Amino acid sequence: MNQSPIKVLGICCSPRKNGNTEVMLREALAGAEEAGARSELVTIGDKDIKGCDGCRGCDKTGRCHIKDDMQAIYPKVLEADGLIFGSPVYFWNVTGQAKVFMDRLVCLYRKSMLNNKVGGVIAVASSTGHAEVRSLYYSFFAANRMITADFVQGFAKDKGHIKKDRWAYAASRELGVKVASIAQARFKYPEAYHRSLNDMVKEKYGVESMPTDGRFDGSPVAAEMAPASRK
């Protein structure tokens, strides 16, 4: 069966045009193309992207009502089989732009539309804070039932200095190859896990995850709560 080439989207969350993060992401996308993927880079720093306003309208629709540059990016995210997020470290975590972008993906999370996409992460810092970036994105991937590929850390402060980090350069290219190769394998979570564990427990046991919504109400014992199939 002939399947169309997979697509890898790089998302650069540095406000600095042609900065170190962008250099690493371009290298990763070159790697993805080398592995047979199509690729595209989206820069967030030059876009008008507002923060999520928490209206929860997307719970029902899977769409965000905020009319800004994010609307043109949603189709690119949906079309991609692999997503490589790149952020400089700002005070031991991602940039504000990166977090705003992540929050605006909640409408896709609500409808499980990021499921099975492959995720990679690139973080650049002058000295420290990479691990926090990795931790945030890995949690995001898990929440969205994405497949985690890998993480690359680069060390640079001034614009362009990342080119001196030989490891980061090579590892970025290899990250691109890896994201593309995993996407080509087309792994899928089993059908039952196309929703969150919260939703699954609610459906199967009738219990909400939030204490305010009855998590501790009543006095069920474990045996009584077990689904019929395990009794």
Ligand X SMILES: Cc1cc2nc3c(=O)[nH]c(=O)nc-3n(C[C@H](O)[C@H](O)[C@H](O)COP(=O)(O)O)c2cc1C
Contact positions vs ligand X (CB under 6 A): 14, 16, 19-21, 88-92, 124-129, 156-157, 159
Beta bridge partners of 73: none
Task: Give the nearest distance from C-beta 98 to ligand X in angstroms.
Answer: 11
Any idea of the CA torsion for 147, 150, 155, 160, to the nearest 10 degrees? -70
User: With b meaning 16 or more CB within 10 Å and e meaning fewer, what string describes 18-47?
Assistant: ebbbbbbbbbbbebbbebebbbebbbbbee
* Residue 54 vs residues 50, 57, 106: alpha-carbon distances, Å: 12, 8, 10
Cα end-to-end span (Å), the chain: 43
Task: Give the nearest distance from C-beta 151 to ligand X in angstroms.
Answer: 16
Query: CB nearest ligand X: which residue?
Result: 19
Nearer to ligand X (CB atom), residue 123 or residue 147: 123
Task: Give the nearest distance from C-beta 198 to ligand X in angstroms.
Answer: 32
Nearer to ligand X (CB atom), residue 12 or residue 147: 12
Beta bridge partners of 160: none
Are the CB atoms for 119 and 133 separated by under 8 Å?
no
- Helix, strand or coil, per DSSP, at residue 124: strand
Nearer to ligand X (CB atom), residue 144 or residue 153: 153
What is the distance between the alpha carbons of residues 41 and 48, in angstroms, rounded to a whole number? 17
And the tokens for 223? 């045996």
Task: Give the nearest distance from C-beta 2 to ligand X in angstroms.
Answer: 38
Task: Give the nearest distance from C-beta 144 to ligand X in angstroms.
Answer: 24
Nearer to ligand X (CB atom), residue 156 or residue 180: 156
Nearest to 189 by CA among 223, 145, 222: 145
Nearer to ligand X (CB atom), residue 42 or residue 147: 42
Nearer to ligand X (CB atom), residue 91 or residue 216: 91
Task: Give the nearest distance from C-beta 175 to ligand X in angstroms.
Answer: 16
